[in-house]
Chains A and B, each alone.
Chain A
């Protein structure tokens, strides 16, 4: 029996009085690309942060490759090692060159030598068209380049699962495409990904499955064509109508 890469079961999360996740169930198989859509505040980002154990959950459990990582006594650092996350605001380390940004975790966490980590970084950087930026500092790069570096930084740990949290939301429209292309390439190579996004066209194009979140729960999920053309839930329809009215699809 093969275990799902990610299994989320009845996860609840509250910040004070605010219930952000009200029992989320989600199954992601190997090589699947799952897109989370939904209005801001619906819980997409919180769900991703919970999966990466950056936020403790209040109820439910999260299993990676069949192992309950939310159980007591689990080494969170080891779990995070196998999951990559890319944030909306890049969060590159501003005091390090691009190359140092990418090699830091492989060197310090995986114990790779300077040379091995550097080789891994160079290979990834050139794959994403950043080979001539490796000695630059993040503030000298465009937003799109910074976000691609952030993706490379996450990939350098060779994660089993990559989480992308609205990675194009902070970018100029003209820079969005280069980042989306990078993600497309990853999907083509079979990277298992959970992607929170407002780019509906992209979601429809790339996702093996689309999940619509509303008010802290997954209201509807299915094949992208079904969700975008024949949504069954009234909340999904309202959301998609608003997106269309805003000219975003």
Chain B
């Protein structure tokens, strides 16, 4: 919420600072490119200092003893020929990651919603469901993802259960869904709880059942509000799809490992990192843009 009157604690005797002085809009966090009172000059200073900083950093790295010696970092991590050789092979297997996180995201959306709605059921009768949902989110937010993947991925096929697939990709997806649903359920729940009770009262007063009020009035508003944090969790899920390599499943990371081991060269890792960056960074920027848009809307008094 825009709270311009928010109390800021400033030590007593700080000269020339009125803690309640209104801040101009948008100045709450420092701007990326300088900013401040004398705008143009500070932009130039910002550009110059940035160039200088990265130039110095680059020189330090390139001139370090381990950079261009035999089998130095340049050759080990930034070998152009190795890059051209490994990238297509990695991309070929990276499609498995894409498959894993796409399927997992759809399942997470549904399962987490179920958990969140279970959690918000009222009345004494539903206590077991509320407790179950609560315990679930607490447990799975506390477990390292890679452990869940290992336990399910190695354990479930070993059980040789009838009717359940033994493929490691299946259990890898299940493990990711179990872990990420716990986070996303909390995101949903925050969204549901952020909708004012008067909305539910209005819906119920028209004769809608509790379920109808949830479905048509509460959830559509709640989901809209939580899109940015939801996307953040999905970006995390996409990155964690690399943990599946632990099961020996040949996806992007495992493929990079194999090429690295064969060629005694780490460039495939850099190639894979680049693939992730290309996929995730646009999403990160999109989330930031969404958050900023919502902020502006709220500040201009519109309904978020």
Contacts and interface: CB of A to CB of B under 8 A. Distances in A.
Interface of A: 49, 52, 54, 77-78, 80-81, 83-85, 87, 89, 91-95, 104-105, 108-109, 138-139, 153-154, 157
Interface of B: 198-199, 201-209, 212, 216-217, 220-221, 224, 302-303
Contacts of B217: 93, 104
B303 A81 contact: no
28 contacts: A49-B201, A52-B205, A54-B204, A54-B205, A77-B204, A77-B208, A77-B209, A78-B207, A80-B204, A80-B206, A80-B207, A81-B206, A83-B205, A85-B205, A87-B201, A87-B202, A92-B202, A93-B217, A93-B221, A104-B208, A105-B206, A105-B208, A108-B208, A108-B212, A109-B207, A109-B208, A109-B212, A157-B207
Contacts of A52: 205
Contact of B207 (A49, A81, A91, A139): A81
A54 B206 contact: no
B220 A109 contact: no
Looking at chain B's contact residues, the main secondary structure is helix
Given A78-B207, A139-B302, A54 B201 contact: yes
A138 B207 CA distance: 21
Given A94-B303, A95-B221, A139-B303, A153 B199 contact: no
B220 to A, nearest CB: 5
A108 B216 contact: yes
Contacts of B209: 77
Contacts of A139: 302-303
A109 B199 contact: no
Contacts of A94: 221, 303
Contacts of B216: 104, 108
Contacts of B206: 80-81, 84, 104-105, 109, 153-154, 157
Nearest to B201: A54
